[in-house]
């Protein structure tokens, strides 16, 4: 196993041990030292901007004494109701205009009954209408993997708390409408699941776009992700598959215009893992080409545009989701006229303008697509594709850059979003990588547990394969600079300016850095020729030929140096060697004839102009 993978495992172990230590200290006899240490850790954790300011009024919520999640800690996205508290929805204006919840959300109650203890309420993107994780009102929770990069949203605080083991949490509750669990899971390097639509109770969860909204959660291990699923997810139908029948790599999600090398290497790692763990079960599929053939209404939407299927599905999500958001929040938005970020304002304005005809048409197409995708996935097929187009973007980018990246994200997110399907994001990382990258598995409707089981089977092989694959690809794309190349370029520039002494100096430095470069040595020879250092030029060319016996320029330049020194026979031999290597080299032909004339070997019947 590579060192990067070992390091990642070590980090996970250290984080887990840290959580255990804090939990043990918290169960002490109330000594001041223990209390101070716990309080100190909480204070440090709270500086990461993951938690809402007033969550101490209702937190912690102790889990039941018995249950399958006993001893685990978790955090709650500020979209779920907690009794006696105003659910903030990532918006100060929302909090000011709404009352405290009368009861706690179903999922929080279920986790409490299962023994898990809630230890905090986490920040989120404004009105859950973003996937970057940056909130103009509350700040940006710090990505534990790479602080300079955004954490992803809208479940930003939950992903950050989970990835950083903040307040000792083991998992985190989030919601996913268009990617709000999947994106931050990919960016922060944790597992994340978007569940099948309406499969987990949304009672007590604020609505954004009801036909898209789902409950989701994050975990640092696949084990904890599944344990939470065992509590929150219903038991599948007895006839439902429990293991994947086949894996389909969604090839149209992997084009260069959609995904970066990190995402493409994640897909290659997934292929490697599937071939190892489930030989014979892997197939490749262009999903949208298939849908164009099988769905007449979708075909009419795509038209004759090449590789535009995912863009069309992304646009369907934008319109249908936007229309629902406006129907759900529009009246409040117009009445209160809240201060919102420029990006949210633009999205709300766009959402207010979608027409009934446009929405009706896209609903019809969505129904056709869902039916076809369900038929593909029926029987245990799983789609494989990158979660996001690449690692997280840097914090503080412009609205236009953010929107451009958001659109690319939605081309990968739209499949599960549009079809209401379960999707698990698996974190992949490498020691030298600039950020984490998620790879996703999408399963059939209500096959959530099977998808998590498949992830468990593949994850070890994926994590082991990814660092080597990524390293090789990044090396191919960004080969290391050749030693001395900078000085060689300076030498070339000096030569063009007729500064031949300067050229010799630069080439000499380049040769000192890379003494086995025949090019550098032959270039210095040419500069020596211009100065009149013929012996030095000949010596350099001989060295270059020693290093590379096929380097034509070295033979030509040595021939020139020898000719000037009057060594015509040796010069002729050099030009003939050059002609042997390049039979059509005009310079070599001309010089061979010239040397033969000087020596007296030329054929008088040959026209020199044709030589």
Q: Does the active-site annotation cover 294?
A: no
Tokens of 224: 């904890």
Determine the distance from the C-alpha atom of residue 568 to the mean position of all C-alpha atoms in its chain, rounded to a whole number. 64
Phi, psi (deg, nearest 5) at residue 247: -120, 130
* C-alpha dist (Å) from residue 52 to 27, 47, 57, 79, 532: 25, 11, 11, 12, 78
Q: Does the active-site annotation cover 272?
A: no
Residue 256 CB-density burial (10 A; 0-12 exposed, 13-18 middle, 19+ buried): exposed
Start-to-end C-alpha separation, the chain: 62
Contact yes or no for 181/193 (Cβ under 8 A)? yes
The secondary element (H helix, E strand) that includes residue 249 is strand 246-250
Of 91, 117, 154, 156, which residue is the catalytic one?
154
Which parts of 365-432 are beta strand (E)? 381-386, 423-428
Strand order in the sheet with 381-386: 117-122, 73-77, 171-176, 214-219, 191-194, 423-428, 437-442, 381-386, 246-250, 282-285
Phi, psi (deg, nearest 5) at residue 265: -70, -35
- Measured at the alpha carbon of residue 384, what is the angle toward residues 292 and 134, in degrees to the nearest 5? 95
Residue 23 CB-density burial (10 A; 0-12 exposed, 13-18 middle, 19+ buried): middle
Of 48, 77, 202, 596, which residue is the catalytic one?
77
Residue 47 CB-density burial (10 A; 0-12 exposed, 13-18 middle, 19+ buried): exposed
Q: Helix, strand, coil: what percent of the chain each, to 5?
A: 55, 10, 35
Of 49, 91, 155, 180, which residue is the catalytic one?
180
Beta bridge partners of residue 217, listed in sequence order: 173, 193
Residue 38 CB-density burial (10 A; 0-12 exposed, 13-18 middle, 19+ buried): middle
Note the residue count of the chain. Answer: 611
Nearest to 329 by CA among 198, 496, 208, 466: 208
| DSSP 8-class letter at 437 | E
Tokens of 169: 């949490």
Cα–Cα distance, 108 to 93 (Å, whole number):
25
Nearest to 551 by CA among 582, 530, 596: 582
Cα–Cα distance, 268 to 464 (Å, whole number):
12
Cα–Cα distance, 459 to 448 (Å, whole number):
16
Tokens of 166: 């903040």
Q: b/e map of 200-222 (b: 16 or more CB within 10 Å)?
A: bebebbbbbbeebbbbbbbbbbb
* C-alpha dist (Å) from residue 89 to 154, 193, 474: 10, 20, 40
Determine the distance from the C-alpha atom of residue 392 to the mean position of all C-alpha atoms in its chain, rounded to a whole number. 6
Cα–Cα distance, 543 to 554 (Å, whole number):
9
Residues recognised as catalytic:
77, 154, 180
């Amino acid at each position: 196993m590579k060192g990067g993978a070992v390091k990642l495992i070590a980090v996970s172990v250290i984080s887990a041990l840290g959580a255990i230590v804090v939990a043990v200290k918290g169960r002490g006899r109330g000594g001041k030292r223990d209390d101070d240490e716990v309080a100190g850790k909480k204070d440090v954790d709270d500086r990461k901007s993951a938690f809402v300011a007033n969550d101490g009024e209702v937190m912690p919520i102790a889990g039941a004494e018995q249950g399958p999640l006993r001893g685990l800690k978790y955090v709650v996205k500020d979209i779920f109701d907690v009794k006696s508290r105003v659910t903030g929805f990532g918006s100060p204006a929302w909090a000011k205009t709404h009352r405290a919840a009368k009861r706690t959300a179903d999922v929080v109650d279920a986790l409490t009954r299962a023994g898990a203890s809630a230890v905090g309420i986490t920040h989120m993107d404004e009105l859950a209408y973003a996937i970057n994780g940056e909130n103009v009102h509350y700040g940006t929770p710090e990505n534990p993997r790479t602080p300079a990069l955004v954490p992803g949203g809208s479940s930003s605080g939950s992903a950050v708390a989970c990835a950083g083991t903040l307040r000792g949490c083991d998992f985190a509750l989030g919601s996913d409408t268009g990617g709000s669990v999947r994106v931050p899971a990919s960016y922060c390097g944790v597992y994340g699941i978007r569940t099948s639509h309406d499969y987990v109770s949304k009672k007590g969860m604020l609505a954004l776009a009801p036909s898209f909204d789902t409950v989701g959660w994050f975990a640092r291990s696949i084990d904890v992700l599944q344990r939470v699923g065992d509590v929150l997810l219903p038991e599948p139908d007895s006839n439902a598959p429990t293991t994947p029948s086949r894996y389909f790599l969604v090839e149209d999600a992997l084009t260069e215009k959609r995904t970066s090398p990190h995402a493409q290497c994640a897909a290659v790692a997934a292929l490697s893992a599937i071939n190892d763990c489930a030989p014979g079960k892997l197939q490749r599929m262009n999903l949208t080409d298939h849908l164009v053939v099988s769905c007449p209404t979708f075909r009419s939407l795509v038209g004759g545009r090449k590789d535009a299927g995912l863009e069309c599905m992304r646009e369907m999500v934008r319109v249908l989701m936007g229309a629902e958001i406006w129907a759900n929040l529009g009246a409040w938005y117009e009445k209160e006229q809240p201060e919102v970020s420029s990006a949210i304002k633009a999205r709300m304005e766009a959402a207010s303008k979608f027409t009934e005809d446009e929405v009706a048409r896209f609903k019809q197409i969505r129904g056709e697509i869902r039916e076809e995708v369900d038929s593909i996935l029926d029987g245990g097929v799983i789609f494989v594709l990158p979660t996001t187009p690449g690692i997280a973007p840097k914090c503080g980018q412009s609205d236009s850059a953010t929107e451009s990246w958001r659109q690319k994200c939605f081309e990968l997110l739209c499949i599960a979003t549009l079809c209401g399907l379960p999707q698990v994001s698996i974190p992949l990382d490498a020691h030298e990588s600039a950020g984490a990258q998620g790879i996703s598995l999408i399963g059939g409707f209500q096959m959530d547990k099977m998808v998590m089981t498949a992830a468990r089977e593949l994850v070890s092989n994926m994590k082991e394969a990814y660092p080597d694959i990524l390293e090789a690809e990044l090396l191919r794309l960004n080969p290391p600079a050749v030693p001395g190349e900078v000085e060689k370029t300076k030498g070339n520039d000096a030569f063009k300016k007729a500064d031949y002494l300067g050229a010799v100096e630069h080439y000499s430095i380049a040769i000192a850095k890379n003494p086995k470069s025949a090019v550098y040595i032959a270039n210095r020879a040419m500069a020596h020729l211009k100065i009149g250092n013929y012996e030095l030029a000949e010596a350099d060319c001989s060295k270059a030929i020693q290093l590379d016996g096929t380097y034509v320029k070295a033979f030509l330049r040595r021939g020139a140096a020898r000719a000037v020194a009057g060594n015509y026979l040796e010069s002729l031999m050099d030009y003939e060697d050059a002609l042997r290597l390049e039979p059509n080299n005009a310079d070599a032909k001309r010089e061979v004839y010239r040397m033969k004339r000087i020596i007296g070997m030329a054929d008088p019947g040959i026209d020199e102009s044709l030589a």
